[in-house]
Structure 1
Amino acid sequence: MACFFRRHIASKLSQILQQPEDVFISALSAVPVSNKQQTADFRLSIGTLFKDGIVPSNGDVQSQAEALLNELKQDRVVEEVSTGRGVINFRVHRKLLVQKMLGPCGKDDDTFGLNSELFNRLEKGRTLVEFGSPNIAKRFHAGHLRSTIIGNFIANLKQSIGNDVIRVNYLGDWGMQFGMLGAGFDRYGSQEKLEENPLQHMFDVYVQVNREAEMNEDLRHAARDFFRRLEHHEGKAMALWQHFREISVKEYQQVYNRLGVHYDIYSGESFHRVQTQEVVQELQHLGLLKITEKGTAVVDLSPSGDMSSYSTVLRSDGTSLYITRDIAAAMDRKEKYTFHEMIYVTDKSQENHFHQLFQVLLAMGHSWAQRCRHVPFGLVQGMKTRHGEVIFLEDVLDEARARMLHNMSLSKTTKEMDNPEDTADKVAISALIVQDFKGPLEADYRFDWDRMLQAKGDTGVRLQYTHARLCSLVHLQGNGQELEFDHSVLVEPRTISILQHLLHYDEVLYRSAQDLQPKHLVNFLIKLCHLVASALRDLPVKGSPPNVAQARLQLFSRTCSVLANGMRILGITPVDKM
């Protein structure tokens, strides 16, 4: 394991520099694999030691690197130490690298890379992740895909490194939109159509009532009146709203199951409608609430108290707003779940909303708001089906599956499988996820059907194909556990390149846990697939001497496990055949 080597080198540095081992753990990094001849496995940046105050700087990085090099000796683990430009390189004994990185396959495959000392530097505890969060009574728009898969990745990642994770779907199930829908359903709704296709019918009604309300003051008044009735828990309005909510959640769960996403809690704005009044009273008690000339209630967030920046928490008619309910929800969650951190995953247009939310909470004296975090993401451009219609997520998933199924039917390497549609669905969703995760989350990106579904590109299809190919090899030839083997037979350059790349796995997860960006893991897995392709070509199992075949199988079995585990963290369900 990488942690064995990192710990050993850190121990040597600790003895020489008289500093605790822990300070060197994160300063050491695995050397990236390149096409050139690779000698070093780990690298220590002297500049990093200066920056962190571990070593006093005399201004000459190279001379201090060479001075430290003179004190480092080869031993049973490190066979070569050298300097580069401001760095010290460590090369470990090749046989020991193979032995430690492969070990007995199957014994610790699920935890490979997850027991690293790097994660000791991360604060652990309970993490609450709010993601997905669609507005009920509406079909999933394709834009909901990003919040769902990004939040699922963050929850998976946090859980994999030891956090207690609570996954929350905070439904948009309250607010003036239900005033519009309620008033519209009274006029245009049909119980028969609602039973046939609930979300589509509610969407049609909502579009129609919004269009009509632009020119109809009576209809706008009826919508405001319906929401006031909801706020006062009037029976008929509440019954209709409850019906809308129940059938919406039922429809959404089918899509979540298809995406392989689950939630621990289905919450919603409505859960906190009573608590919003308590929030307003507390704001008033703290002297934070001000009434504007328009009659709205606001919290002044300006540093100088001149109202140059404020957050509106009540309309002039006394009804609550989105942020009021978010304040109540945050306070309620802290009391119920005693979370260490809370992460919100929404598009970047809501950055100001969450900035205000955290500011209001801090102004109320809730210091834990400093551990609340908003993860913003950009827009998806050009996501259309062949028909060019309004894009709903189910339509995108259906088309992705159909296109993948077609591509699989044309491929000569496609295996016979019991349920090709299910496999095509999983592979297509993998393609959607990887296309979404390849770049920075906050960036917009252009959706491209053809590029996304390429089997030979840097795609989710490539990840699945590589995994299926490795599964097939292990299934047909065994898994490499049957015989002890001489580790010296696995010192070929292709093997060493894979093992050197696997040294990065804990670093990649550590970096992802810090900035919550999936691109690091995606790029790691794609590079692993490229290395595997070369190794499968140059290191045959079939026809090799038994000890060599078993050794190579152990390499491929371990690699297959790491690939599968990384895919699961991304939210991808690995397939064994395709």
Structure 2
Amino acid sequence: MNEKLIVASCLSHALDGALHEERILALLEQPKHAIHGDLAFPCFELAKTLRKSPAGIASELANTLQHKLVSHVEAVGPYVNFFLHRHIVSNTVLTHILDERNRYGNLAIGDGQHVPIDLSSPNIAKPFSMGHLRSTVIGNAIANIMAKCDYKPIKINYIGDWGTQFGKLIVAYKKWGSPEQIKQTPIKELLKLYVHFHKEAEKYPALEDEGRAWFKKLEDGNEEAHHLWGWFRSESLIEFNKIYDLLGISFDSTNGEAFYNDKMDEIVTLLEEAHLLIEDNGAQVVMLEEPLPPCLIKKSDGATLYATRDIAAALYRKRTYNFAQAIYVVGGEQRLHFQQLFAVLQKLGFDWAKNMIHVPFGMILKDGKKMSTRKGKVVLLEEVLTEAIHMATQNITEKNPALTKKEVVARQVGVGAVIFHDLKNDRMNNIEFSLEDMLKFEGETGPYVQYSYARACSILRKASHTPGQATIQLEDDLSWTIVKLLHHFPTIIQQAHDKLEPSIIAKYVVDLSQAFNTYYGNVHIMIEDEQLQSRLVLVEAVAIVLKEGLRLLGIAAPEEM
């Protein structure tokens, strides 16, 4: 049921073609205050065509419009306000949700087409910091949204396991490293070495040359370099997987940068055959149209670069998945890189490059500044998650000490708090890191939404409510607010898909939770009367949509808290 389409059709018929139905649909508004109805149509645009005042047009339309879905129509100044039949709409919406359950909101957009999504992508031999959280949880939520819209997302963790930094790390290990200490605490020791290298390089710039030389050895297959690199990589993946297990996130591919080492020669050949490679100060570049600078493909020493590798990765993914779209969830500071990447692919004649999308996001700042692994200024994600779970455990112990599966719920709530704190923000906004704000369990937070879901489940348990259908007899303002929000869920999914913006869903589940808790605080839901089953159906529908909204964000929905 789309009441906007119905009202637009009625208006189009009444206006006898004076305004196209699509334009009427675009002009229809949802009034800010319920006293002004459920939909409003402004008549300003008709004044010139009909040569009447907007208020006069509104008055005439209000007297002629009628539909079984509309209880009454009012003219207020230049607006025509529509009031819907609440019991008809409520019955239709809630029955549909109970029929569809977790399928409610599914959209047939993607036709099962593949969409590889590049997300997370931490660098090996470095700790998983808060700086990596955004790509991980935004990318995972986008994958869930794409699946909801009938695409087949392919989550790719494009591990940063290649590059000059590994040459630097090898130098640092050979000069200052201890095998025993690295075996005990691998990531912490490797981070210390990495930070120490850059401190020393500020005093002795020649160290940078040594780092580049060792990376060249690694590219050339030097046995010692390759052995150390493999060791650093395996230790890192063990640490990363602990984080992913906590977050509840898995991947379809973990092919990192090194996977494309044997696939870059083809790219250089393709660029040469297309006469796109130009020598510039000994390096090989592709010239691009202004305002883009040239794209560097090979350095003067012959070493390949990120762009070369990403071109190879794009071609591999197209051949492997034949994707409809390819999405890169990578920070906004890499915008230029992706503009160059897509431009080079198009110069090579790959039309599918037009369907590649960079999804940027803002940074997590500490004291207003970007976190830097190089300078050792990082906040470790594992420590934040551990602290969040600890605080959730304390909260549960205090408020519900008899709760079964306390450890499981504490993990769901603590991790959910961290994920939701990120996703409730527009992805382009920078976020100031604050453990205190992140771990609040009241207000617009993940635990608040989870608790709202658990409250709905508790009501249904106490009522011994059996899922099913009932004739809905709800017409009060508080239930109507909830019904309208529930009816809006598929539109929310559409908007989140169109903008690749998980925060739209996060804000929606907060709004739905607030409306439900207001209802709970003002209505005696469990009272035995003729509307009991209607109220329980409303609660059940809220539970269904909250759980699905949380799932799309990558957050668990505990039934008890």
- Matched position secondary structure for 1:108: helix
Q: Contact 1:435–1:459 at 8 Å: present in 2 too?
A: yes
Q: Which residue of 2 aligns with 1:315?
A: 299
What is the 5 A alignment of 1:525-544? 525-544=509-528
Matched, 1:114 2:106: yes
Q: 1:80 aligns with which of 72, 85, 101?
A: 72
Unaligned runs of 5+ in 1: 51-55
Amino acid in the other structure paired with 2:192: D
**Deviating more after overlay: 373-382 vs 87-96:** 87-96
Are the structure 2 counterparts of residues 465 and 85 from structure 1 closer, same or farther at C-alpha, using a change threshold of 3 Å?
farther
Q: Which moved more, 1:502-511 or 1:145-154?
A: 502-511
Structure 1 residues 220 and 448: CA distance shift in structure 2, 3 A: closer
| Corresponding residue for residue 297 of structure 1 | 284
Q: 1:167 aligns with which of 155, 161, 179?
A: 155
Does residue 425 of structure 1 match 2:422? Answer: no
Partner SS for 2:337: helix
Equivalent residue number for residue 515 of structure 1: 499
1:398 partnered with 2:386: yes
TM-score (norm 2): 0.88
Cα offsets for 1:145-198 (capped at 9, x unmatched):
111111111111111121111111111111111111223333333443333222
Following TM superposition, by how much is the alpha carbon of 1:23 offset from its aligned partner in structure 2, in angstroms? 4.7
Task: Report the 3-state secondary structure (helix = DSSP H, G, I; strand = E; otherwise coil) of the residue aligned with 1:301.
Answer: coil
The question of whether the paired residues in 1 share the 8 Å contact of 2:58 and 2:77 is answered with no
Work out whether residues 93 and 483 of structure 2, in 8 Å CA contact, stay in contact via their aligned partners in 1: yes
1:209 aligns with 2:169: no
Among 231, 237, 241, the alignment partner of 2:219 is 231
1:150 to 138, 143, 160: 138
- Distance change in 2, residues 1:175/1:41 (3 Å): same
2:115–2:153 Cα contact (<8 Å) kept:
yes
Structure 1's 58 and 255: CA in aligned 2 closer, same or farther, altered over 3 A?
farther
Describe the shift of the 1:131–1:98 C-alpha distance in structure 2 as closer, same or farther (beyond 3 A). same
Other-structure match for 1:99? 91
Does 1:564 find its partner at 2:551?
no
In 2: Cα distance, 1:259 partner to 1:314 partner: 38
Alignment-derived partner of residue 273 in structure 1: 261
1:400-421 per-residue CA deviation (whole Å, 9 max, x = no partner) reads 222232333343xx36223323
Structure 1 residue 281: Cα displacement: 2.0
Cα 1:459–1:192, aligned 2, differ >3 Å: closer, same or farther?
same
For 1:56-105, what per-residue CA distance to the aligned partner results, in whole angstroms no more than 9, with x for missing partners?
97798947974993696423323334456776544332221121111176
8 Å Cα contact 2:111-2:150 kept in structure 1: no
Query: Which sits farther off after the overlay, 548-557 or 420-429?
Result: 420-429
Rounded to whole Å, the distance in 1 between the matches of 2:283 and 2:90 is 68
Q: Deviations over 1:463-498 (max 9, x none)?
A: 11111111111122123546x64422x212211111
* Distance in 1 of aligned mates of 2:9 and 2:457: 38
How many angstroms does 1:449 deviate by?
3.3
| Alpha-carbon contact 1:314-1:321 (below 8 Å) kept | yes
Does the CA-based 8 Å contact 2:453-2:559 persist in structure 1? yes
Q: Which letter maps to 2:272?
A: Q
SS in 2 for 1:171: coil
Larger deviation, residues 209-218 vs 142-151: 209-218
Letter in 2 for 1:94: R
Which residue does 2:187 correspond to in 1?
199
Aligned residue identity for 2:283: T
Which residue of 1 is the match for residue 533 of structure 2?
A: 550
For the 8 Å contact 1:451–1:457, the answer to whether it is kept is: no
Change (3 A) 1:236 1:127: same
Match of 2:352 among 368, 371, 380: 368
Aligned partner letter, 1:475: R
Residue 244 of structure 1, aligned match among 228, 232, 257: 232
Cα shift at 1:516 = 1.6
1:491 aligns to what?
A: 475
User: Does residue 334 of the first structure (1) align with residue 318 of the second (2)?
Assistant: yes
- Aligned identity (percent) is 30
C-alpha distance 456-203 of structure 1, shift in aligned 2 (>3 A)? closer
Match of 1:261 in 2: 249
Amino acid at match of 1:555: L
Letter in 1 for 2:435: W
Distance between the aligned counterparts of 2:91 and 2:236, measured in 1?
Answer: 53
The yes-or-no answer on 1:575 pairing with 2:561 is: no
Shift of 1:46: 7.0
Give the TM-score, by structure 1 length. Answer: 0.86
Q: CA deviation at 1:6?
A: 4.6
Q: Secondary structure at the match of 2:482?
A: helix
Partner of 2:270: 282
User: 1:345 maps to what in 2?
Assistant: 329
Q: Which residue pairs with 1:463 in the alignment?
A: 449
1:300 Cα deviation from its structure 2 partner: 1.3
The answer to whether the Cα contact below 8 Å between 1:132 and 1:148 also exists between their aligned partners in 2 is yes
How far residue 574 of structure 1 moved from its aligned partner, in angstroms, is 1.1
Partner in structure 2 of residue 53 of structure 1 = none
Instruction: Give the secondary-structure state (helix, strand or coil) at the position aligned to 1:250.
Output: helix
What is the aligned residue count? 553
CA 1:324–1:29: 2 relative to 1, 3 Å:
farther
Distance of aligned partners of 1:250 and 1:46 in 2 relative to their CA distance in 1, 3 Å threshold: farther
Contact 1:155 1:165 in 2 (8 A): yes
**2:421 corresponds to which of 414, 424, 435:** 435
Q: 2:224 is aligned with what amino acid? A: K
CA deviations over 1:210-241 (Å, ceiling 9, x no partner): 33344446644443332222212233332332
Q: Which runs of 5+ in 2 are unaligned?
A: 369-375
How big is the shift at 1:22?
Answer: 9.7
Structure 1 residues 221 and 406: CA distance shift in structure 2, 3 A: same
What SS does the corresponding residue of 1:525 show, helix, strand or coil? helix
Structure 1 vs Structure 2 CA RMSD: 3.4
Give the AA of the match of 1:549: L
